[in-house]
Amino acid sequence: MSLFFNKEVLPQNGQPAWYALQVWSRKESAVLAHLEGLGYECFLPTYKSRRQWSDRVKEREQPLFPGYLFSRFDFQNRRSLVMAPGVIQIVGNGKTPLPVAPDEMERLQIAVASDSARQPWPYIAVGERVRVNHGSLRGLEGILINIKGSHRVVLSVSE
Protein backbone atom coordinates (compact mmCIF):
# COMPACT_ATOMS: atom_id res chain seq x y z
CA MET A 1 0.00 0.00 0.00
CA SER A 2 1.55 3.27 -1.07
CA LEU A 3 -0.05 6.28 0.58
CA PHE A 4 1.31 9.62 1.67
CA PHE A 5 1.02 10.06 5.42
CA ASN A 6 1.07 13.32 7.38
CA LYS A 7 3.65 13.59 10.13
CA GLU A 8 1.19 15.72 12.07
CA VAL A 9 -1.43 13.90 14.15
CA LEU A 10 -3.62 16.96 14.81
CA PRO A 11 -7.04 17.35 13.13
CA GLN A 12 -7.08 19.55 10.05
CA ASN A 13 -9.73 22.21 9.38
CA GLY A 14 -11.67 21.15 12.49
CA GLN A 15 -12.17 17.65 11.02
CA PRO A 16 -10.60 14.56 12.53
CA ALA A 17 -7.87 13.03 10.39
CA TRP A 18 -8.18 9.91 8.23
CA TYR A 19 -6.09 6.91 9.25
CA ALA A 20 -5.38 3.63 7.48
CA LEU A 21 -6.28 0.63 9.64
CA GLN A 22 -4.76 -2.80 9.23
CA VAL A 23 -7.56 -5.32 9.73
CA TRP A 24 -8.06 -9.05 9.39
CA SER A 25 -7.72 -10.03 5.76
CA ARG A 26 -10.98 -11.15 4.10
CA LYS A 27 -12.92 -9.61 7.03
CA GLU A 28 -12.72 -5.99 5.88
CA SER A 29 -16.48 -5.63 5.31
CA ALA A 30 -17.36 -7.12 8.70
CA VAL A 31 -14.87 -4.83 10.48
CA LEU A 32 -16.24 -1.87 8.49
CA ALA A 33 -19.82 -2.65 9.56
CA HIS A 34 -18.76 -3.04 13.20
CA LEU A 35 -16.85 0.25 13.25
CA GLU A 36 -19.70 2.11 11.57
CA GLY A 37 -22.01 0.61 14.20
CA LEU A 38 -19.77 2.17 16.84
CA GLY A 39 -20.20 5.54 15.12
CA TYR A 40 -16.90 5.79 13.23
CA GLU A 41 -16.75 7.21 9.71
CA CYS A 42 -15.09 4.56 7.53
CA PHE A 43 -14.13 4.08 3.90
CA LEU A 44 -13.43 0.74 2.22
CA PRO A 45 -12.39 1.19 -1.44
CA THR A 46 -13.54 -1.78 -3.53
CA TYR A 47 -13.49 -3.07 -7.08
CA LYS A 48 -15.64 -5.57 -8.97
CA SER A 49 -14.14 -9.00 -9.48
CA ARG A 50 -15.55 -11.78 -11.65
CA ARG A 51 -15.21 -15.29 -10.25
CA GLN A 52 -15.95 -18.32 -12.36
CA TRP A 53 -17.15 -21.60 -10.95
CA SER A 54 -17.90 -24.70 -12.99
CA ASP A 55 -21.60 -23.79 -13.29
CA ARG A 56 -21.70 -19.97 -13.12
CA VAL A 57 -19.87 -16.64 -13.16
CA LYS A 58 -20.40 -14.29 -10.25
CA GLU A 59 -19.38 -10.67 -9.81
CA ARG A 60 -18.22 -9.68 -6.31
CA GLU A 61 -16.99 -6.54 -4.60
CA GLN A 62 -13.43 -7.02 -3.34
CA PRO A 63 -11.29 -4.65 -1.24
CA LEU A 64 -8.89 -2.59 -3.33
CA PHE A 65 -6.34 -2.79 -0.47
CA PRO A 66 -6.81 -6.26 1.07
CA GLY A 67 -6.31 -6.16 4.82
CA TYR A 68 -6.83 -2.39 5.11
CA LEU A 69 -9.60 0.16 5.44
CA PHE A 70 -9.72 3.85 6.30
CA SER A 71 -11.39 5.59 9.20
CA ARG A 72 -11.74 9.22 10.25
CA PHE A 73 -11.61 9.68 14.00
CA ASP A 74 -10.32 11.82 16.83
CA PHE A 75 -6.99 10.23 17.72
CA GLN A 76 -7.52 10.94 21.43
CA ASN A 77 -10.73 8.84 21.39
CA ARG A 78 -9.40 5.78 19.57
CA ARG A 79 -9.72 3.17 22.32
CA SER A 80 -12.98 1.53 21.17
CA LEU A 81 -11.68 1.52 17.59
CA VAL A 82 -8.40 -0.27 18.31
CA MET A 83 -10.18 -2.72 20.64
CA ALA A 84 -12.78 -3.61 17.99
CA PRO A 85 -12.68 -7.21 16.73
CA GLY A 86 -10.66 -7.48 13.53
CA VAL A 87 -8.63 -4.28 13.94
CA ILE A 88 -4.93 -5.13 14.10
CA GLN A 89 -3.39 -1.66 14.26
CA ILE A 90 -3.45 1.92 13.04
CA VAL A 91 -0.88 2.21 10.23
CA GLY A 92 2.06 4.47 10.98
CA ASN A 93 5.77 4.72 11.51
CA GLY A 94 6.76 2.13 14.11
CA LYS A 95 4.40 2.60 17.03
CA THR A 96 3.47 6.13 15.97
CA PRO A 97 0.19 6.18 13.98
CA LEU A 98 0.25 8.66 11.11
CA PRO A 99 -2.82 10.15 9.43
CA VAL A 100 -3.29 9.88 5.67
CA ALA A 101 -2.86 13.22 3.90
CA PRO A 102 -6.31 14.79 3.26
CA ASP A 103 -5.63 15.33 -0.47
CA GLU A 104 -4.68 11.64 -0.82
CA MET A 105 -7.99 10.57 0.73
CA GLU A 106 -9.88 13.00 -1.47
CA ARG A 107 -8.24 11.62 -4.64
CA LEU A 108 -8.89 8.05 -3.55
CA GLN A 109 -12.56 8.81 -2.83
CA ILE A 110 -12.96 10.57 -6.21
CA ALA A 111 -11.40 7.62 -8.03
CA VAL A 112 -13.64 5.08 -6.26
CA ALA A 113 -16.79 7.19 -6.76
CA SER A 114 -16.19 7.43 -10.53
CA ASP A 115 -17.50 4.88 -12.99
CA SER A 116 -13.99 4.08 -14.17
CA ALA A 117 -12.82 0.49 -14.00
CA ARG A 118 -10.35 -0.19 -11.22
CA GLN A 119 -8.41 -3.16 -9.99
CA PRO A 120 -5.58 -3.79 -7.57
CA TRP A 121 -2.11 -3.80 -9.01
CA PRO A 122 0.68 -5.80 -7.40
CA TYR A 123 3.18 -3.03 -8.06
CA ILE A 124 3.37 0.17 -10.01
CA ALA A 125 6.25 0.03 -12.45
CA VAL A 126 8.19 3.16 -13.10
CA GLY A 127 6.50 4.71 -16.13
CA GLU A 128 5.25 7.92 -17.63
CA ARG A 129 3.15 9.99 -15.23
CA VAL A 130 0.01 11.32 -16.86
CA ARG A 131 -2.79 13.62 -15.84
CA VAL A 132 -6.40 12.85 -16.76
CA ASN A 133 -7.77 15.82 -18.73
CA HIS A 134 -11.34 14.71 -19.43
CA GLY A 135 -14.14 12.91 -17.63
CA SER A 136 -14.97 12.39 -13.99
CA LEU A 137 -11.30 11.77 -13.07
CA ARG A 138 -10.09 15.09 -14.55
CA GLY A 139 -7.10 16.47 -12.66
CA LEU A 140 -5.98 13.17 -11.15
CA GLU A 141 -2.52 11.86 -11.94
CA GLY A 142 -1.52 8.31 -12.75
CA ILE A 143 1.03 6.17 -14.47
CA LEU A 144 0.44 4.98 -18.02
CA ILE A 145 0.93 1.24 -18.54
CA ASN A 146 0.18 -1.20 -21.31
CA ILE A 147 -1.91 -4.31 -20.63
CA LYS A 148 -2.69 -6.70 -23.47
CA GLY A 149 -2.31 -3.99 -26.08
CA SER A 150 -4.73 -1.47 -24.55
CA HIS A 151 -3.68 1.59 -22.58
CA ARG A 152 -4.94 2.04 -19.06
CA VAL A 153 -4.21 4.65 -16.43
CA VAL A 154 -3.29 3.24 -13.05
CA LEU A 155 -4.02 6.01 -10.57
CA SER A 156 -1.24 6.55 -8.11
CA VAL A 157 -2.44 7.19 -4.57
CA SER A 158 0.88 8.80 -3.64
CA GLU A 159 2.64 11.82 -5.05
Q: Which domains does the chain have, with CATH numbers?
A: 17-155 (3.30.70.940)
65 pLDDT more than 80: yes
Model pLDDT for residues 1-51, shown as the tens digit of each residue: 445 555 554 555 778 999 999 999 999 999 999 999 999 999 999 988 888
3-state secondary structure at position 72 = strand
Q: Sign of the CA dihedral 87, 93, 99, 100?
A: negative
- The answer to pTM > 0.75 is no
What's the pLDDT band for 147 if we cut at 50, 70, 90?
Answer: low
Per the model's pLDDT, the better-predicted residue between 73 and 156 turns out to be 73
- Say whether 80 sits in a helix, a strand or coil: helix
* Average pLDDT taken over every residue of the chain: 80
The pLDDT assigned to 87 comes to 97
Phi, psi of 102 (to 5 degrees): -55, -40
Residue 74 has pLDDT above 90, yes or no: yes
At residue 51, the 3 state secondary structure works out as strand
Name the region of 13 (left: φ>0; alpha: ψ -120 to 50; beta: rest): left
Q: How far is CA 2 from CA 31, 56, 84, 91, 94, in A?
A: 22, 35, 25, 12, 16
Which stretch of 43-52, 99-108, 110-119, 123-132 has the lowest confidence by average pLDDT?
A: 123-132
pLDDT band at 150 (very low <50, low <70, confident <90, very high): low
The number of residues making up the chain comes to: 159
Confidence of residue 99 (pLDDT cuts 50, 70, 90): very high
> Is 96's pLDDT higher than 80?
yes
* Sheet containing 129-131, strands listed edge to edge, beginning at the edge strand earlier in sequence: 129-131, 141-147, 150-155
CA distance 133 to 69: 29
Q: Give pLDDT, residue 145.
A: 58
C-alpha torsion sign, points 53, 26, 146, 118? positive
